[in-house]
A and B are shown apart, each in its own frame.
Chain A
Amino acid sequence: MVDAPANLPNYRYVSRKRRTKEDRRFVSGRGKFVADVEVPGMKHVAILPSPHARANIISIDTSAALALPGVHYVLTGDELGEATNSLFHGLDLPNVIWHPLAVGMTRYAGEWVAAVVADSRYIAEDAAELIEVEYESLPAAVDSEKMIDEDQPLVHPAHGTNVLFRKTWEWGPVADDFASMPNTVSYRARWGRSSTVPIETFGVVAKWDDVNEIMDVWASIQMPQYQDQIAAALRIPMNQVRVHNDVDVGGSYGVKRGIKHTVLVTYLTKKLGFPVRFIEDRLDNMSGGDAHGPDRIFDITMAFDDEGVIKSMKIRALDDVGAYPGRAPLQLGKPMTALCGPYRINSIEYEAISVTSNKTGQVPVRGFGQSPTNFAIETGLERVAKHLGLDRIEVRARNLVRKDEFPWKIPPGSIYDSGDFHAVLDGIIKTSNWDDLVARRDALRAKGRLAGVGIATCLEPGGGNNIFEFLFNPKLEITTFVESVLMKVEPTGAITAVMCTTTSGQGHETLVSTIAGEELERDPDTIRVLHGDSLEALPTRSPVASRMAIVLGTATSKAARDIKSKMITIAAHDLGVEKDQIEYADGEFTVRGNPASKLTWAEICHIAHKQFHRMPPGHELGLQAYAVQQVPGAGGLPDENNEVPLYPCFSFQAHVPLVEIDPDTGKVKVHDYFIGHDCGTAINPDIVRGMIIGGVAHGIGAALYEKFEYDADGQLLAGTFVDYLLPSAHEIPPVVDSEHCTPSPLTSLGQKGSGEGGYLGAPAAIASAVNDALAPFDIEINELPIRARDIEAALYEKTR
């Protein structure tokens, strides 16, 4: 473990306003996104999707498609299913088989049935239209709650049921705690199926080199074990797969998994002998990309005393992962790491149910299930307050973990590392001028409008220790969650660092160069950061779980400190003193008490690379270091009570929006949004601020606008940007953020994660505000998204 500094130092680069490294190429139009990658000779793929939610494939006639000039191949599921291993599921589901192209049966409207390879995407689409498929359409299973009943059509007949997973855990004395509390509230909270939907769709280019036996892959990817899964599907050794991690990814927040796209394309290039490219168009992406998010129903009961302090909680979470689960069911597990939110709840019963349906597959979305869970918990806090007639801020203040109680262990076993939740909450009440917001709310009401002020306090777990997966599948006995960096200093003194995964807007090059610069007292602008390909790279788990500042950041500190130590050793030897006699500052290694006796950075580099005769005997030559950093606190398996510490670092936010609702149309306008956030040491303040505000915007989308709506027959009604509504600049208000810093004791510079927080609390905060606006009518809506028509209908029912 790398120790964090005891006091908050006056950083030179960290936490200072600095331009990022990445932005320069983006403003110039010189990003390298996957669709910009040109591999000579590459051919293009278009997909033929199934129009049916559930159907048997009777026959596929590709002859007309193949006859079209410019078409090279038409692939169907029978061939691909034989030639490749089925795709990975997080749960142990031997009878749930997933291939990129449907085999025998299609299980959702939009599922891929055939793939055409042609000279251009235009021709490939022409050919796809000429493929004749005969289907036998079957009744579909679409209602998530009904999946538990036995009489639904089976999505995967061989699995025997539509329930993929169902288990209940109990942590702490739930029955006793319930018996001892005078009050309970029970409620349902529903999270509609939405997702990240980045502006760039998923894409992949693959080239098989027969002579060198290398599969080169360029993709818009954000995924752990990508190369592992490619190799496994293709039945080739992992060191025949080279994923190029220097592709700029146009946004992801979890969803750019694309493993089926990749297996499809890598199979084709290997078979056909030329590079193959598949870029999802928006229609492909929305229905067939398998990138939907949680689709969840929570039934919760909270037990609390007359002061509103919650002692215990029972949660049932039902999630519909669509036809092909992949890792999605595990999205019910991650929230265990903050299952009681930022509150001092003593015991929890948690029943997690994952069901399959004839819908598009689900994928990890920003927070990996934490945002729906936070929404469900915060709904409970509102209910408790209402039940007792308590102020909503006060009820939270009474339940929040206190500053002097850290590290704080929650019933499932995670340990909240640090925080000052009350200070952040008090701070945002002050910054937002809460009383003034309430006055403005009341003034709007006096004018005949509906208006509400919302509050939500939420955690953003960071760092990524996914051993909760073991509780879902004992075969996932994985306790290593590392991130690596290699750092080297050239003979002339320039520094280069190599990170081992992709970046999708988080500014990792800036993260690494800033930290390395801080540790080595060198200007981060002079430090080059590369993305090593998967063959060169050291172990990585990719930028998920709000982990990179924590794990990559700590790895960077470690490697940099290693290099600094080596340089000091070399300096000491050459200057003829003990190592502890050397002081390093600003590129100079000086003997303590003898300022004339020193060596410069450049001189040390020259010695290290070129002058063996001046090096300490046995010392490594050159100047490099690497660090493979395990996530702090991780390593153990769950104990016999299913308790295990999961994510190590906990960032905290308090959200306060003011909304106005037009009573005639039900349309919500978010006027103001205040957010207090504490992510420990912010490496780059602009990046953190961008993540916070962007997360809030993403959360407003999930709260008010976005839904992958299905009809009763399993047809996706929101398959384009006309129907799936991403918020524009009109829908997002100016966001005022106030920062706090409670460093983590577990990381090199006290940094925590910040990539998710806005998103993890905004839906709860918006729901709180909307329900405050509807409270005078005794209306409460606990299902997201809350759309204008939902509000208008509720008002109409109440006031007719």
Chain B
Amino acid sequence: MKQVEVTLNVNGKDTTLTIPPRMTLVDCLRDELRLTGTHVGCEHGICGACSVFLDDEPIRSCLMFAVQAAGHRITTVEGLLNEDGSLSDLQDSFWECHAMQCGYCTPGMLVASESLLAENPDPSEDDIREAISGNLCRCTGYQQIVEAVQMTAKRRREGAANG
């Protein structure tokens, strides 16, 4: 079974790799590109710790082979930071609300939350819980995560109102 050459666009940057087709996207991001912010939790598509953006939509990177991602834009948690390396408003809200404990599910939660806010700037609590329902957390009981998303939504609405 032969390796294939593939060019991946991750966080705005192109990298060409030669990898076996069976290498999952999450393993490729972590081991080849050393973007270790995306985490492996189950490798069968339930826990959501591996969630990344594929062309602006959250997907489970353990359920995709890296070769499939060529021609698409991948954004990981590292790519959520601002250009100057500072935290995005969502990341900052997560910190402010202590929306994590061990930090392992956090990158996936950020991706799922950012996706919701992009589509729905005024989500209800139910909307938020639905959006993160594919991301399991064992530490927080989800509440401070919900609060962080609500805080971000409010910040963005107020920011938009202020122009």
Interface, chain A (partner B; CB < 8 A)? 19-20, 22-31, 33, 35-36, 38, 122, 196-201, 248-253, 279, 281-282, 504-507, 686-687, 689-691, 693-698, 720-722, 726, 728-730, 732, 734-735, 758
Contacts and interface: CB of A to CB of B under 8 A. Distances in A.
A251 B104 contact: yes
A721 B101 contact: no
A27 B94 contact: yes
Output the residue of A31, A198, A689, A729 with the most chain B CB within 10 A: A729
A279 B47 CA distance: 17
Interface string B130-142: 1011111111111
A730 B128 CA distance: 10
B37 interface: yes
Nearest to A686: B98
B133 A728 contact: yes
A722 B46 CA distance: 7
Task: Say whether chain A's binding surface is mostly helix, strand, loop, or mixed.
Answer: loop
A501 to B, nearest CB: 15
Given A251-B104, A721-B47, A728-B142, 7 more contacts: A19-B95, A28-B91, A199-B47, A505-B100, A693-B142, A693-B143, A734-B143
B44 A29 contact: no
Contacts of A33: 36, 39, 104
Size bracket, chain B contacts: 35 or more
Contact of A200 (B34, B102, B110, B143): B102
Contacts of A30: 37
B49 interface: yes
B138 A729 contact: no
A196 B100 contact: no
Interface string B22-61: 1100000010001111111111101101000000000000
B140 A697 contact: yes
Nearest to B125: A734
A249 B138 CA distance: 13
Given A29-B78, A200-B41, A721-B42, A732 B141 contact: yes
17 contacts: A23-B103, A27-B87, A28-B91, A199-B47, A201-B41, A250-B39, A686-B98, A689-B144, A693-B141, A694-B138, A694-B139, A721-B136, A722-B46, A728-B132, A728-B133, A728-B136, A729-B128
Given A198-B138, A251-B139, A735-B141, A22 B125 contact: no
B129 A729 contact: yes
B101 A690 contact: yes
A492 to B, nearest CB: 26
Contacts of A726: 47, 136, 138
Contacts of A722: 44, 46
Best-buried of A248, A507, A698, A728 by chain B (most CB within 10 Å): A728
Given A122-B23, A197-B138, A250-B39, A19 B133 contact: no
B134 A31 contact: no
Contact of B98 (A23, A122, A251): A23
A33 B37 CA distance: 9
Contact of B110 (A27, A282, A730): A27
Contacts of A735: 141, 143
Contacts of A732: 141-143
Nearest to B107: A29
A22 B96 CA distance: 12
Nearest to B131: A729
A197 B137 CA distance: 10
Identify the interface centre among B23, B99, B128: most chain A CB within 10 Å of its CB: B99
B146 interface: yes
Nearest to B102: A505
A728 B105 CA distance: 12
B12 to A, nearest CB: 15
Given A282-B43, A721-B46, A507 B36 contact: no
Nearest to B128: A729
A29 B37 contact: yes
B87 A28 contact: yes
A730 B130 contact: yes
A26 B46 CA distance: 21
Contacts of B128: 729
B98 A20 contact: yes
Contact of B101 (A196, A201, A505, A730): A505
Contacts of B41: 199-201, 282
Contacts of B125: 734
A153 B110 CA distance: 51
Contacts of B129: 729-730
Which 7 interchain pairs have the tightest Cβ spacing?
Answer: A29-B37, A26-B103, A505-B102, A250-B104, A505-B101, A697-B141, A29-B77
Nearest to A692: B141
B81 interface: yes
Among B22, B96, B139, B142, which residue has the most Cβ atoms of chain A within 10 A?
B139
Interface in B121-163: 125, 128-130, 132-146
A197 B76 CA distance: 25
B43 A694 contact: no
Nearest to A762: B141
Nearest to B143: A693
A29 B129 CA distance: 22
Interface centre among A197, A200, A693 (most CB of B within 10 A): A200
Given A196-B138, A726-B138, A730-B130, A31 B42 contact: no
Contacts of A29: 35-38, 76-78, 106-107
B104 A27 contact: no
A702 B114 CA distance: 30
A529 B105 CA distance: 24
Nearest to A673: B141
B40 A687 contact: no
A127 to B, nearest CB: 15
B1 to A, nearest CB: 10
A282 B44 contact: yes
Nearest to A22: B103
A26 B139 CA distance: 14
Contacts of A35: 30, 36, 39-40
Contacts of B92: 27
A249 B36 CA distance: 14
B141 A696 contact: yes
A436 B75 CA distance: 47
